[in-house]
Amino acid sequence: MRNADLVARDLKSVWHPCTQMKDHETLPLIPIKKGKGVWLEDFENNRYIDAVSSWWVNLFGHSNDRINNAIIEQIGQLEHVILAGFSHEPVVNLSERLIEVTPEGLNKCFYADNGSSAIEAALKMSFHYWKNQGLPNKKHFVNLANSYHGETLGALALGDVAIYKNTYQPLLMEVITAPSPDAYLKEPGETDEAFALRQFEAMEALLAERHHEISAVVVEPLIQCAGGMRMHHPIYHTKLREACDRYGVHLIADEIAVGFGRTGTLFACEQAGITPDFMCLSKGLTAGYLPLSVVLTTDTVYNGFYDDYETMRAFLHSHSYTGNPIGCAVALATLDIFRDDRVIENNRRLSACMAESVAHLADHPNVGDIRQHGMTLAIEMVKNKADKTPFHWKERRGLKVYQHSLTRQALIRPLGNVVYFMPPYVITEDQIQHLARVATEGINIAVRD
């Protein structure tokens, strides 16, 4: 089969995610035949380094032998079973392991099958917890400007990225939006930490005034990924944890994108030294293999639901594939790799290499910022470096970087004007250097008028 054959069939039958399908009249769709390690390969032997980990999910490369074997082993034993009234070994083992590796105090695991669903479950749990406590007025959620938490209606309502949200606004619950600690917005000469503390003042004031009606604050710790890989200082979350405790408001940490090492620690919350009331995980949970997500929470929250059936305090929420055994087996294999291969320690070398590889771009006249947290690095293209004037979104400058990358054996998929690397952890230093060269060429092409 040639690429064109599959593409022709695809365009007749598939509606692709997050895509204006008309773009494919001019923008080629890339049919992938196989993947190995960081490489994706099409039907004509063209290869691409997956610099975006296939939407931030892949951790240890495509078709990883250890994960493949875990699937084969599990599939011969049990592919799926209802998790209400029944249980199985992989879900128990995984829950024990997640409780072990996440911040102290998260002791219960509730499963779903994608990131947005985990967010929805956490929102419902938070509201329902307060209701069970006799506080039904705590029904509002606070988010941060420029946040993203998924596409289902509840998760979308919590987000603040206009291109995804605006169209559906009439369908969405109202949320209360606080200013973001996004360090890109700081004043010249101000440190990331000072800016985060300054931005926190508005959150503090908001909680002081409205805590009676607030159920939870929802954050993406350290990196607002879909919001353009915008990054901030962990002090914000340390302060937020203290304030949430003071005002009796839950803290929901959405680590769906940043969890599992993307920020340099296994979980971003570690850098703020906090335990949220709810932690949502997905994506890297199964190293990019299978749809699985989990909400971890505390004994306090769990006990708020624990009562006689007739009290209607139970969390009557479910998804058909909750706690799928194959997904859990993959997640266990993923945690084994983290432990056995000392992944977090070894990633430090890769992070340093990523930083060095693009250091030359700091002086580029159309680069407004280079930022990094661990294994995530972003380069912001700007029209005017002095005042960071952005290129207009309609110019689609990032798309030019993407198109160039495909001609140079790389899949770099900018978010608007932001070129970023969030590669699988099996990438080599040579491959990082290659990505940096391709990104530099791509930026030079994209910023030409």
Ligand X SMILES: Cc1ncc(COP(=O)(O)O)c(C=O)c1O
Indicate the annotated binding residues for substrate.
55, 148, 283, 318, 413
Closest by Cα among 247, 243, 224 to 235: 243
For ligand X, which stretch binds (CB under 6 A), given 83-91, 134-142, 249-257, 302-310? 249-257
Among 178, 206, 257, 326, binds ligand X (CB under 6 A): 257
Residues of this chain, 80-139, that bind ligand X according to CB under 6 A = 114-116, 119
- Quick one: 150 or 368, whose CB is closer to ligand X? 150
Residues of this chain, 282-321, that bind ligand X according to CB under 6 A = 282
Shortest distance in whole angstroms from residue 150 CB to ligand X: 3
Q: Is-contact 91 275, C-beta < 8 A?
A: no
- Quick one: 147 or 351, whose CB is closer to ligand X? 147
Among 50, 220, 277, 380, binds ligand X (CB under 6 A): 220
Token output for 153: 């209606």
Using CB atoms, what's the residue nearest to ligand X?
A: 115
Shortest distance in whole angstroms from residue 110 CB to ligand X: 16
- Quick one: 116 or 265, whose CB is closer to ligand X? 116
Question: How many whole angstroms separate alpha carbon 359 and alpha carbon 66?
Answer: 35
Shortest distance in whole angstroms from residue 2 CB to ligand X: 31
Our finding on whether 142 is near ligand X (CB under 6 A) is no
Question: How many whole angstroms separate alpha carbon 160 and alpha carbon 408?
Answer: 34
For ligand X, which stretch binds (CB under 6 A), given 238-246, 250-258, 314-322, 430-438? 250-258
- Quick one: 41 or 270, whose CB is closer to ligand X? 270
Among 225, 266, 272, 333, binds ligand X (CB under 6 A): 225
Which residues are CB-neighbours of 28 under 8 A, at least 6 positions away?
7, 406
Our finding on whether 226 is near ligand X (CB under 6 A) is yes
Token output for 181: 């600690």
Shortest distance in whole angstroms from residue 219 CB to ligand X: 10
Question: How many whole angstroms separate alpha carbon 429 and alpha carbon 209?
Answer: 50
Our finding on whether 334 is near ligand X (CB under 6 A) is no
Shortest distance in whole angstroms from residue 444 CB to ligand X: 29
Question: How many whole angstroms separate alpha carbon 339 and alpha carbon 373?
Answer: 21
- Quick one: 371 or 434, whose CB is closer to ligand X? 371
Token output for 396: 């689609």
Our finding on whether 146 is near ligand X (CB under 6 A) is no
Shortest distance in whole angstroms from residue 394 CB to ligand X: 24
Our finding on whether 42 is near ligand X (CB under 6 A) is no
Where along the sequence are the contacts to ligand X (CB under 6 A)?
A: 114-116, 119, 148-150, 220, 225-226, 254, 256-257, 282
